Every structure is written in structure tokens, then in C-alpha cells.
Amino acid sequence: MIRTGVSTIALAMLLAVPAVAQEKKVAPGAATPAAADAFLERATKEYSEFSEDDARIQWLYATYINDDTSALVAKSGAEGTEMAVRFALEAARFDKVSGLSPDTKRQLDILRSGITSPAPTRAGAAASLSKLQTDMQTVYGTGKGTLKGQPINGSDIEAAMGTNRNPAELKEMWTSWHDNVGAPQRADYQRAAGLLNEGARELGFKDVGAMWRSNYDMPPEEFAKLTDKLWNEVKPLYESLHTYVRWKLNEKYGDAVQPKTGPIRADLLGNMWAQEWGNIYDLVAPPGSGDLGYDVTDLLNAKKYDAIKMVKTGEGFYSSLGFAPLPDTFWKRSLFVKPADREVQCHASAWNLDNVDDLRIKMCIKVNGDDFVVIHHELGHNYYQRAYNKQPLLYRTGANDGFHEAIGDFVALSITPDYLVSIDLLDKDKVPSADKDTGLLLRQAMDKVAFLPFGLLIDKWRWGVFSGGVKPTGYQGAWDALRLQYQGVAPPVARDETKFDPGAKYHIPANVPYTRYFLARLLQFQFYKAACDQAGWTGPLHRCSFFGNKDVGKKLDAMLEMGASKPWPDALEAFTGSREMSGAAMVEYFAPLKAWLDEQNKGKPTGW
């Protein structure tokens, strides 16, 4: 199975098998091109058989967390890791063999470096790692915060952080979530990180961070440099936004809550992690023209949308591009709303259980604008999974993981006012006029631009943990320092080394690499600009919707069908004509806003 969003992709990351695997290991014969091909065939078959059950176990756990499913998923996870490590070691035998076909070489490389959670081969190590990771995910998935002293679950507290404007209550929600969910994982995380590194080293990598960075068709050091280069392209945009938003928050809350200088208080930004700020658009809207005349949450509610109607609408967009409807099983087997009577992992994810067409999403959908976008995001994963389902199994993943995260977001950039009219959510006479463009761009920037440093720093922290630059005694301090350095935000209450705020963000307990989301933020604008060019759009970029454009759909499908069969620059070129990931399209999209922000910011303190 290929699960995206949660553990993402790659087979690679699943694989493993314990004691039994050792017995199954074939005696090493001569390392020849033919032996490499035979090995790949065997590995692919074994993986495919394993994943049939493993996928179901993972699905059951994610949609019904209890002691039994936890035990099953931990066991299956350990088996998957052992299998993956066994294949990686076996793949390494062919490193120096000459005469391998490019495809054989590429698939061997995927087997070698594509494991997200490698474990050492010594007896019991994979089981220990898997148990630690399952326990952390259970703490996260079942975690609660409080609001006015009452327990509140993860998806409710996330929504409440978006609408609540009471600084004391925001602080309570922020602190309780981070204390209750993050801190208990601290010791387990340290142990898991040690095992992951040990596993990565056995496979010939410096540490597990270097292993993650080696999945981008370039040397790991080059990839780290590329992310910094990309960040520098968009950093001025973020700084302009930060300056403006801090000023507005100071106007709203006063010096005692949000001073005019220094970092922004992290709980005031409308999101538990201060990762996207669109929910506080009302606090920062441009004076006079800031009221856009509509709000997606209000529109969905006015038209009595429920979770299913929201997903159907998302499907409708992809159908308009020419993609086949989702299979009946998608509607039967997906989890769309939080069940009342059991614990589930609410963090949204998209699945393909049989690597063919057993597509599903798992989400605790709320009728609001945020989740409308997340639905398009998840469906992007599903349509990608289906598009590459005829590739050899090891290629059934994204060109790189940033591509997988970018597809649905790229589609959601087309949710323009005119698009909302065409699906009858917005009345034609409510389409904001051109003088509202600044407001529309600012609304979008609050989500898209605000996210950039967050998207980068999560793995800056983890790469540091894995390389040893961040010591276990300084987990929290290093986290706060990166949040300050990159985002310019600070926690609402003092933290110390009894805390573990990284654990309060899903992808840390779930061990999902996060740089993918940073890449996706940029890639989605590259895809969007290319699609709008293909569609012949000549208006302001942010007003373009390629809804209904079958030519765009065809070209998109051509890129998606490639899966990981070619280096990612080939896939990028197929759709955009460019072979470089770049911040330029995003900078172009927001250029009018940047000019406006810099005008507003004149004479105001900048930086932190």
C-alpha cells in the first residue's frame, strides 16, 4: 500500500521482516545485471504481498485506535522495516556492478535510500522502533487539550484556534495541547532517533537525515543547499508579511499581549502551530477594501454543505480536467467525519490500499474553508496514486515527495471567486471587484507565504537531531530557537527542557519528513503558472482558474503518470517546461501584494 500524507509513500518506508526474514534470505550469488533484475522482481513481489495485509492493518489502526490495533500495527510496522532493510542491504550488493540498465539502477537506489524509518538489523531493534513510533502516534492521535478547563480533542482544538480571539483562551489551548501531547513523547523520541540513526548508518548513510535528503536525484548536501537557496528567494515576502501582521496584532491586542517589536506570539495567528494564518484574515484585512464580500466557510454553510458534498465538489474539479470519477469503494471505505464512539487519527491523509485503485481519504472534515482546501489536497494525492498505478511498483510514488504534496494545493489555487460562481457557491454579483485584489492576495498570503519558514524549520530541527547538532538535552531550546530564527514567533508561555513541543505536531510522532511541504509551497505556484499559461490566461495570475480545462488535465496527467520513473526535473519539465524548482512563480503571484505591504510597512519596525 502506498499511504500519502501519513507515512507517505514509498514502499521503501514500509518494508521489513524480522527473524523469519533472516531465514528467507537467499545466499548471495554473483552480482550481475541479471541477478539485479531477478532480485528486483523478487523484492517487488514480496513487498507487494506484504503490503496487502499491512495496508489494512494500518488503515484499521488509523481509523480505530485501541490496544489491539496498536499492537497489530506495531508488529506489522516492524516486519515492514525489517523487509525494507533486508532489501536495502541486498540492493547495495549491486552498487559497483557495471552494465545495469538505468531503470534497474534507479530502482535499486530507491530500495537503498527510500526507507523513512530504517532500523538496525540486530534482533528486536525493528520491533522496539516500531513500538516507540506507534506509542507516540497513539499519544498524538488520542491527545486532548483544554478550553476553559474542559477537555477538547485535536480536531476541535484546531478549529477553535482558528476562530477564538480571546488571548487567555488561546494561550490555554496552545499550552495544554503542547504540554499534554508533546511532552510525554520526549523520552520515546530520543530512543527512536537513536535507533533510526543506527539503522541509517548500517545502510551506509551518515545519519537518517542524510538518508532522507538523498531522495532528490542529487547528493544530500546539494539538496540542503537548494532548500536554503529557495528560502532566500521568498524570505523578503515573508518578512514583509510578518512586519505587517505583527503591527495589526498589536493594534488588535495592545502592547501587553503583542508588542510592536520582537516575535509574534504563536497562539495569536489562528493556527495551533502558527503555520498558516488565513484564519485571522479579518484582523489584518486592508482598511476599506479588505472585506472580500464572501468567506468560504460562510458560503459552505449557507448552501448547507456537509462533508460528503465538500468531497464531491473536490472530485468535480478533477473530473472537469478529464480525470475519471473516484471508484465506488472510495465512497464506501473512506473516513470522512470523526466517529463519535472511538479514537481515530484525525490528521488528514490519502491512501491507496492496493496500490491500484483502492483509493481512500481519512479526515475529520469540518465544514470550513480550511478543510475545503485540505480535501482538494488529499484528492490530489489520490489522483496521483491512480495516475501512476501502471508503473513498476517501486515507481508508484511522486517524482519527489514535494510533487505529491503540491498537486492538490495547485488545484486548490483555482478556487477563485469566479470558480465559486461556476459551482453555484457564490452569487455572480458578489464576485469581488478589481479593487479587492489586494485583499484576495493578502488572504492567500496569510496561508501560503506564512507557511514557508515553518515548512523549512521542522526538518532543520530534525536534521539537527539526527546529525547530533541538536542534543537531547536541548530538544526544546533548539526548537524554540528555530521557530524564532525562521518564523519570528515565540511561545505564549516560557518553555523548558521538560517540554517537547515538536511532538505536538503530527509529523514528528508519525516520522513524516516535512521538507516536502516546503517544496510543495513553491512547486504548486510553478504548476499553477504553467497551467494558467497553457490555458492562455492573461489576467492577474491570482484570478486564474483552470477549472474545466481538459488540455491542462491531459498535460497534468502526463506528468502524474510518470510517477517516480524519471528524475524529478524530467517530470517538472513535462508540465512546466522548466527543470528547476524555483520561488519565482510564487514571487510573481504575490508581487502586487509585496509592493502594497512595503508601502504599509513604511516607518514600522521590521524583523525581530
Note whether 140 binds ligand X8Z by CB under 6 A: no
54 binds, among ligand X8Z, Zn ion, none (CB under 5 to 8 A by kind): none
348 binds, among ligand X8Z, Zn ion, none (CB under 5 to 8 A by kind): ligand X8Z
Our answer to whether residue 178 is catalytic in this structure is no
156, 364 in Cβ contact below 8 A? no
What DSSP character marks residue 567?
-
Cβ proximity to ligand X8Z, 117 vs 258, nearer residue:
117
382, 374 in Cβ contact below 8 A? no
Cβ proximity to Zn ion, 6 vs 442, nearer residue:
6
Cβ proximity to ligand X8Z, 5 vs 118, nearer residue:
5
Q: What are the contacts of 544-549 at 24+ separation with CB within 8 A?
A: 544/414, 544/416, 545/414, 545/415, 545/416, 545/418, 545/419, 545/422, 546/321, 546/414, 547/317, 547/320, 547/414, 547/419, 547/422, 548/320, 548/321, 548/422, 549/320, 549/321
Name the grid cell of 426: 457564490
Query: Nearest to Zn ion by Cβ — which residue?
Result: 5
Note whether 374 binds ligand X8Z by CB under 6 A: yes
Alpha carbons 218 and 492: distance in angstroms, whole number = 40
Min dist. Cβ of residue 44 to ligand X8Z (A)? 25
464 binds, among Zn ion, ligand X8Z, none (CB under 5 to 8 A by kind): none
Strands (E) in 88-192, as ranges, are 144-147, 150-153
Say if residue 46 carries a ligand binding annotation.
no
Min dist. Cβ of residue 605 to ligand X8Z (A)? 29
Residue type, 390: K
Please give the torsion angle defined by the CA atoms of residues 235, 239, 240 and 242, in that order, rounded to the nearest 10 degrees. Answer: 140
Site map (CB under 6 A) of ligand X8Z, residues 2-21, x = contact: ---x----------------
Alpha carbons 290 and 57: distance in angstroms, whole number = 48
Alpha carbons 358 and 407: distance in angstroms, whole number = 19
What residues pair up with 153 in beta bridges, in sequence order? 144
Residues 235-294 that bind ligand X8Z (CB under 6 A): 275
Cβ proximity to ligand X8Z, 377 vs 499, nearer residue:
377
Min dist. Cβ of residue 235 to ligand X8Z (A)? 19
Note whether 162 binds ligand X8Z by CB under 6 A: no
Min dist. Cβ of residue 360 to ligand X8Z (A)? 13
Min dist. Cβ of residue 57 to ligand X8Z (A)? 20
378, 31 in Cβ contact below 8 A? no
Question: What sign does the CA torsion over 128, 131, 133, 136 have?
Answer: negative
Cβ proximity to ligand X8Z, 349 vs 382, nearer residue:
349
Give the CA angle between residues 331, 336, 339 to the nearest 5°: 125
Residue with cell 520515546: 188
90 binds, among Zn ion, ligand X8Z, none (CB under 5 to 8 A by kind): none
Number of residues that bind ligand X8Z (CB under 6 A): 7
Range 81-99 burial, b when 16+ CB lie within 10 A, else e: bbbbbbbbbbbebbeebee
Query: Nearest to ligand X8Z by Cβ — which residue?
Result: 5
Cβ proximity to ligand X8Z, 349 vs 414, nearer residue:
349
Name the grid cell of 23: 531465514
Min dist. Cβ of residue 219 to ligand X8Z (A)? 26
Min dist. Cβ of residue 182 to ligand X8Z (A)? 15
Among candidate residues 511, 525, 516, the one with its CA nearest the CA of residue 455: 516
Note whether 517 binds ligand X8Z by CB under 6 A: yes
Say if residue 178 carries a ligand binding annotation.
no
Note whether 138 binds ligand X8Z by CB under 6 A: no
Say if residue 377 carries a ligand binding annotation.
yes
Note whether 513 binds ligand X8Z by CB under 6 A: no
Note whether 116 binds ligand X8Z by CB under 6 A: no
Say if residue 404 carries a ligand binding annotation.
no
Instruction: Tell me which of 507, 561, 580, 599 is the catalytic residue.
Output: 507
Alpha carbons 455 and 549: distance in angstroms, whole number = 31
Cβ proximity to Zn ion, 475 vs 518, nearer residue:
518
Our answer to whether residue 378 is catalytic in this structure is yes
Say if residue 244 carries a ligand binding annotation.
no
546, 596 in Cβ contact below 8 A? no
| C-alpha atoms less than 13 angstroms from C-alpha of 416 in its C-beta half-sphere | 21
533, 549 in Cβ contact below 8 A? no
Min dist. Cβ of residue 349 to ligand X8Z (A)? 6
279 binds, among ligand X8Z, Zn ion, none (CB under 5 to 8 A by kind): none
Give the CA angle between residues 461, 463, 469 to the nearest 5°: 80
Q: Give the footprint of Zn ion on this chain (CB under 5 A).
A: 5, 405
Note whether 375 binds ligand X8Z by CB under 6 A: no
Residue with cell 538489523: 121
Instruction: Tell me which of 378, 404, 542, 599 is the catalytic residue.
Output: 378
Cβ proximity to ligand X8Z, 78 vs 361, nearer residue:
361
Min dist. Cβ of residue 517 to ligand X8Z (A)? 4
Among candidate residues 473, 472, 587, 490, the one with its CA nearest the CA of residue 529: 587
Cβ proximity to Zn ion, 315 vs 405, nearer residue:
405
Residues 314-353 that bind ligand X8Z (CB under 6 A): 348-349
Binding site as annotated, residues: 216, 377, 381, 405, 516
Footprint of ligand X8Z (CB under 6 A): 5, 275, 348-349, 374, 377, 517
Known binding-site residue numbers for chloride: 216, 516
Which segments are annotated as binding site for Zn(2+)?
377, 381, 405
List, by residue number, the catalytic residues. Answer: 378, 507
